[in-house]
Amino acid sequence: MMLDELIQGGWLKTPRIIEAFRKVKRVDFLPEGTKDLAELNEALPIGFGQTISQPLVVAFMLELLEPQEGEKILDVGSGSGWTSALLGEIVGEKGKVFAVELVPELKEFGKKNAAKYGFVDRGVVEFVCADGSKGYEKEAPYDKILASAAVYPHTKFGVGVRELPKAWKQQLKVGGRIVTPIENSIWLFVKKSEKKFQEKEYPGFAFVPLVEK
């Protein structure tokens, strides 16, 4: 089983995250034609040039994010809704996840998938069709921000500059964490003060680019 492999490989360590993986099944977030591939530890297409991330990568990013019960989390590029639902299971009834997706069809796809677990009806996960590079100011500030698509230096954030969207930095609480791909690395940013961030790079990954307006 994929879950057992992730635990044995040291990718999943935190009991609450492991329990979320156990309850929220990846198969429920795949298009009809790929459901039989749910146990494969690789990214799979969900249409519109986007993918559902490799389980190993999702596990690694959630462990870095350190989501906690009761937190408010922004999930940028929510796609299939899998990460949003995992986060919804972790934050619980006292928490809230805002899942932002630019592609309208994917926003509806993710919402429909997460609804299978009651997260939408209970108001634990809210899906928003918007440009995730701008964050979601209406509900800021956030305890944590997760992005599942990569920021690349050629984007509008700056030519040749590895830079987070300013909105994410501004909409994060002091003490909060951002986990995001930049090019082919996963980066962790911890907000130490209003202007100071601690950063750490974890290279060797691959992601689809963040879709912007």
Is residue 155 included in any domain, yes or no? yes
CB neighbour burial string for 37-54, b if at least 16 within 10 angstroms, e if fewer: ebeeeebbebebebbbbb
Q: How far apart are the first and last CA of the chain?
A: 39
The count of structural domains within the chain is 1
pLDDT tens for 135-181 read 999 999 999 999 987 765 544 444 444 568 889 999 999 999 999 98
How far is Cα 213 from Cα 211, in angstroms, rounded to an integer? 7
pLDDT at residue 161, rounded to an integer: 43
Contact 190, 198 (CB under 8 A): yes
pLDDT at residue 70, rounded to an integer: 98
Question: Rg of the chain over CA atoms, in angstroms?
Answer: 16
Q: How confident is the model at residue 204 (pLDDT cuts 50, 70, 90)?
A: confident
Q: Return the bridge partners of 73, or none.
A: 97, 144
Is residue 13 included in any domain, yes or no? no
Q: Which of 149, 183, 199, 146 shows the shortest CA–CA distance to 168?
A: 146
Tokens matching residue 165? 């969207």
Is residue 208 included in any domain, yes or no? no
Is residue 38 included in any domain, yes or no? no
Mean pLDDT over 122-147 rounds to 96
Q: How confident is the model at residue 213 (pLDDT cuts 50, 70, 90)?
A: low
Is residue 44 included in any domain, yes or no? no
Q: How confident is the model at residue 209 (pLDDT cuts 50, 70, 90)?
A: low
Torsion of CA 169, 175, 178, 184, to 10 degrees: 100
The domain of 89 spans: 61-203
> Given the DSSP bridges, would you call strands 197-203 and 142-147 parallel, antiparallel or unpaired?
unpaired
pLDDT at residue 154, rounded to an integer: 46
Is residue 211 included in any domain, yes or no? no
Contact 210, 147 (CB under 8 A): yes
Tokens matching residue 164? 């987070």
pLDDT tens for 32-76 read 989 999 999 898 989 988 889 899 999 999 999 999 999 999 999
Find how far residue 4's CA is from the centre of its chain: 22
How far is Cα 196 from Cα 1, in angstroms, rounded to an integer? 42
Mean pLDDT over 80-102 rounds to 97
Q: What's the whole-number average pLDDT of the chain?
A: 90
CA distances from 174 to 74, 169, 183 (A): 15, 10, 25
Contact 99, 78 (CB under 8 A): yes
pLDDT at residue 21, rounded to an integer: 97
Q: Which of 74, 41, 51, 103 shows the shortest CA–CA distance to 179?
A: 74
pLDDT at residue 203, rounded to an integer: 87
How far is Cα 32 from Cα 122, in angstroms, rounded to an integer? 26
Q: Which residues are catalytic?
A: 53
Indicate whether this model's pTM tops 0.95: no
Is residue 124 included in any domain, yes or no? yes
Q: How confident is the model at residue 184 (pLDDT cuts 50, 70, 90)?
A: confident
How far is Cα 35 from Cα 131, in angstroms, rounded to an integer? 28
Is residue 52 included in any domain, yes or no? no
Q: Find the CATH number of the domain harbouring 181.
A: 3.40.50.150
